A and B are shown apart, each in its own frame.
Chain A
Amino acid sequence: MSPALAERIYCFLLRAYPPAFRAEYGREMVLLFRDQCQESDVHSVGFWARVLGDVARSAPALRLEAWLTRWSENTRTMEVIMKLAAMLTVLLGVIGVLNAGVEWGAGAAQTIQGAHAVSLMLGVFASLLLLAAGVALLSGTPRSRQAARLALLASVVMIVAARILFPWMSIFSQFVGIGLPVALLIALYLPRKASPLGAA
Chain B
Amino acid sequence: MRKRQAGGPPEAYLPLPPATFHILLALADGELHGYAIMKGVAARSEGTVRLGPGTLYGALKRLLEAGLVTESGERADPERGDERRRYYRLTPLGRSVARAEARRLDAMVRAARRKKLIGIRPA
Given A32-B34, A32-B35, check contact A197 B2 (CB 8 Å). Answer: yes
In angstroms, how far is the closest chain B Cβ from the Cβ of A104? 55
B53 and A29 contact, CB distance less than 8 A? yes
B3 and A197 contact, CB distance less than 8 A? yes
Bound state CA distance, A197 and B35, in angstroms?
27
In angstroms, how far is the closest chain B Cβ from the Cβ of A64? 11
List the B side residues contacting A193 at CB < 8 Å.
Answer: none
Bound state CA distance, A10 and B77, in angstroms?
22
In angstroms, how far is the closest chain B Cβ from the Cβ of A71? 14
B34 and A28 contact, CB distance less than 8 A? yes
Given A17-B54, A196-B2, A196-B3, check contact A31 B61 (CB 8 Å). Answer: no
B52 and A51 contact, CB distance less than 8 A? yes
Bound state CA distance, A28 and B60, in angstroms?
12
A contacts with B: majority SS: helix
What is the interface size of chain A, counting residues whose CB is below 8 A from a CB of the partner? 27
Bound state CA distance, A57 and B51, in angstroms?
11
Bound state CA distance, A17 and B53, in angstroms?
12
B62 and A29 contact, CB distance less than 8 A? no
List the B side residues contacting A55 at CB < 8 Å.
Answer: 52, 54
A58 and B58 contact, CB distance less than 8 A? yes
Interface residues of A in 178-200 (CB under 8 A from B): 196-200
Q: When the two chains form the complex, which single residue of B3, B35, B54, B60 contacts A31, counting CB atoms closer than 8 Å?
A: B35
In angstroms, how far is the closest chain B Cβ from the Cβ of A118? 55
Which one of B2, B53, B61, B86 has the highest number of Cβ atoms from chain A below 10 Å of its Cβ? B53
B61 and A21 contact, CB distance less than 8 A? yes
A28 and B57 contact, CB distance less than 8 A? yes
B86 and A28 contact, CB distance less than 8 A? yes
B2 and A54 contact, CB distance less than 8 A? no
A200 and B53 contact, CB distance less than 8 A? no
B56: nearest chain-A partner, CB-CB: A32
In angstroms, how far is the closest chain A Cβ from the Cβ of B15? 10
Would you call A42 an interface residue if the criterion is a C-beta within 8 Å of the partner chain's C-beta atoms? no
A24 and B61 contact, CB distance less than 8 A? yes
Question: Beyond the given A17-B54, A54-B52, could you list 15 further A-B residue pairs with CB under 8 A, ordered by the A residue number?
Answer: A21-B61, A32-B34, A35-B35, A50-B50, A51-B52, A54-B53, A54-B55, A55-B54, A57-B54, A59-B54, A62-B58, A196-B3, A197-B2, A198-B2, A198-B62
Chain B interface residues toward A at CB < 8 A: 1-3, 17, 34-35, 38, 50, 52-58, 60-62, 80, 83, 85-86
Mind listing 29 A-B residue pairs with CB under 8 Å? Answer: A25-B57, A25-B61, A28-B34, A28-B57, A29-B53, A29-B54, A30-B53, A31-B35, A31-B85, A32-B34, A32-B56, A35-B35, A36-B53, A50-B52, A51-B52, A54-B54, A55-B54, A57-B52, A57-B55, A58-B52, A58-B54, A59-B54, A62-B54, A62-B58, A196-B3, A198-B1, A198-B3, A199-B58, A200-B1
